[in-house]
A and B are shown apart, each in its own frame.
Chain A
């Protein structure tokens, strides 16, 4: 059973960088059948895809965030990470790490999510 767990600060100051890490267990991020992705959900709202990384290091991002978001891999730790620069209150959300199955491009496993609040 694959499990994903987000970790990182729950409070970030405006203009600073949000940094989150996702630790994957029960499966390898070097498995070529999946994208490793970040998705966020603003309080009481819908879901917004942030971006993904493939085991090869290939990335893609939501165009609305592309200039601020960076996703990276650490295969030695079976982790992937998100950095979001120049945050504002609009970046306050629950951040999920998740796995996208390339069989039919659906999310088959989600982390529990972590609330990140942007506030001074």
Chain B
């Protein structure tokens, strides 16, 4: 099973700042099968990025994904109020696994 480790656990930032979230895999992941999700309290996750760098329908262009192999990054260029949430990365090797999440909170 591929283990995904996200860092930091919590990111405290102000609106307008840049957020950089990391997702590290215990073994190499096919970039095509790396996704990022956003989750607000009491809501199901929502797909933000798939294929490591492709924005899902409705994802603003301030969101970008990058990386390959074992290191992947989600960047939010200028935080808007609605971006404060928990973000999970997910991979699909032989079976899907998720990272433990990074909470982006208002500073």
Contacts and interface: CB of A to CB of B under 8 A. Distances in A.
A104 B65 CA distance: 15
A62 B96 CA distance: 9
Consensus secondary structure, chain A interface: strand
A2 interface: no
A54 to B, nearest CB: 14
A47 B33 contact: no
Contacts of B100: 45-46
Interface stretch (B15-23, B67-75, B87-95): B87-95
B84 interface: no
A106 B35 CA distance: 6
Contacts of A63: 1, 95
Given A46-B98, A49-B95, A63-B1, A108 B44 contact: no
A47 B98 contact: yes
Given A104-B33, A104-B35, A112-B44, A49 B50 contact: no
**For this complex, into which size category does the number of interface residues on chain B fall?**
20 to 34
A98 B33 CA distance: 17
Contacts of B54: 104
Interface in B18-39: 32-33, 35, 37
Contacts, number: 56
Of the candidates A46, A100, A108, the one having the most CB atoms from chain B within 10 angstroms of its own CB is A46
B85 interface: no
Size band of the interface chain A makes with B: 20 to 34
Contacts of A98: 44
27 contacts: A45-B100, A46-B98, A46-B100, A47-B88, A47-B90, A48-B98, A49-B96, A49-B97, A49-B98, A60-B95, A63-B95, A98-B44, A100-B96, A104-B32, A104-B35, A104-B50, A105-B33, A105-B35, A106-B35, A106-B47, A106-B51, A107-B35, A107-B37, A107-B90, A110-B46, A112-B44, A113-B44
Interface of A: 37, 45-49, 60, 62-63, 96, 98, 100, 104-108, 110-113
Interface of B: 1, 32-33, 35, 37, 43-47, 50-51, 54, 56, 88, 90, 92, 95-101
